[in-house]
Amino acid sequence: MRTSPLRGKFAALGAAFNEQHGREIVTRVADRAAEYAAVRDAVGLTDFSFVQTFRVPEAKGMDFLDSLLAGNVPRIRFGRVLHTFLADEDGMLVGDCYVANNDQEFLFLCESIVPDQEILRVLQGCGMQEAGVEDMAGSYVLLGLDGPRAWEVVKEVFGADVLGLPYLSVEVYPFEGQSVYLFRAGKTGEFGYLLLAPVTVAEALFNKLHDLAQKSGGRCCGFEIHQDLRLEGRFFNIHAEGRRVRDPLVLGLQWMVDFDKENFRGAGAIKQRRADGGKQKIIGVAAAPGSRDLARDAKIFDQGQPVAEVVTDCFSYVLDRQIGLAVFPVELAYAGLTFQLGAPGGPPVNTISMPPIMPKSLKVKLDEV
């Protein structure tokens, strides 16, 4: 099992761990409400080292990545990050990916629903060695800072320059004599940063970030709360609806695909399904306040007939109700409708517009702080 180089740090804080596809994940550090409040009100520090990370030389690696991923890699401008996915040959999702263009190299981050070895097998089959791809697992850690006050922490560590970074960008900053890649990215709706740091400075960086996060009213978090935050912010979650549905077209991920590209992994199957026309679509649903019936696998009924199924759910503290995503036939996939949950005549469930919340970070103007 692959463990994080920071395992000891999180264990000392009383963290709970879980294994997924041969990777150990910090699932929880505090209770759910405290972690949720940290990210929605202040800043949460999370260990994302379970994500696979690769360094790809630009000269040889551009075609390699472009032949693999659904998005257009050559079009990534210097300093910017592409959010796309890796599919299998049937055009079903395998990984949720960031690709960053850092001048002479690309950084490839892959959050997948298969073991590391399987991803490596795919990469090797596509010419990983010839492209000079370096697997950064074990030699780097990936830490996340998310929340309306996350910018305070990164500014303190790397300087005011970080405030100018646009969403989905990357920059390199020195830290104790080493280079740390700072990604402006995140999947909560709040300010989000990912720090990819050499393992030699991992503990020192963690200590500094943890100390500063606490001063900003934040705390360490596990990955479990991010699953809820992603849903509430309507960010794609490969571990929830991604794993369950797997078809990027049903999931509404067409924006991650360059359909003009002749080839990428799974292109034929995805393009064929697109040409055939979609029959299902994922949309947001919400239960009545106080109801706990909206849960994964629950059926949704219309006029006595099952029409949809809930594929992921969470409790939203902001909305004070259970929310989720459900797969509907396209003709019923509209916000503003009421159906029955669990059985004909069951409690009401409403289809809703997503994202259903207004993150606090959207009200912060970084150019005015």
C-alpha to C-alpha distance for 14 and 194, rounded to whole angstroms: 23
Among 174, 289, 336, 345, binds another protein (CB under 8 A): 336
- Smallest gap, in angstroms, from Cβ of residue 197 to another protein? 24
Nearer to another protein, 140 or 339 (CB): 339
Among 10, 235, 264, 328, binds another protein (CB under 8 A): 235
Write out the binding residues for another protein, residues 254-283 only, by CB under 8 A. Answer: 254-255, 258-260, 274, 277-278, 281-283
Q: Does 354 bind another protein (CB under 8 A)?
A: yes
- Smallest gap, in angstroms, from Cβ of residue 252 to another protein? 3
- Sorted by sequence, the CB contacts under 8 Å of residue 16 that are 6+ apart come out as 26, 27, 28, 29, 222
Please name the amino acid found at residue 223.
F
C-alpha to C-alpha distance for 103 and 210, rounded to whole angstroms: 30
Q: What are the backbone dihedrals phi and psi of residue 184, each rounded to the nearest 5 degrees, phi first?
A: -90, 100
Q: Does 71 bind another protein (CB under 8 A)?
A: no
- Smallest gap, in angstroms, from Cβ of residue 168 to another protein? 7
Q: Does 307 bind another protein (CB under 8 A)?
A: no
Segment near another protein (CB under 8 A), from 16-24, 25-33, 311-319, 331-339?
331-339
Query: Residue 303, by phi and psi: left (phi above 0), alpha (psi -120 to 50) or beta?
Result: left
Q: Does 345 bind another protein (CB under 8 A)?
A: no
Q: Does 13 bind another protein (CB under 8 A)?
A: no
Q: Which two tokens stand for residue 63?
A: 């075609």
With beta carbons less than 8 A apart as the criterion, state whether 45 and 219 touch. yes
With beta carbons less than 8 A apart as the criterion, state whether 339 and 301 touch. yes
On the question of a cis peptide bond just before residue 355, with omega within 30 degrees of 0, the verdict is yes
> Which one-letter DSSP state was computed for residue 109?
E
By CB under 8 A, name the binding residues for another protein: 83, 166-168, 187, 234-235, 252, 254-255, 258-260, 274, 277-278, 281-284, 303, 331-332, 334-338, 353-355, 358, 362-363
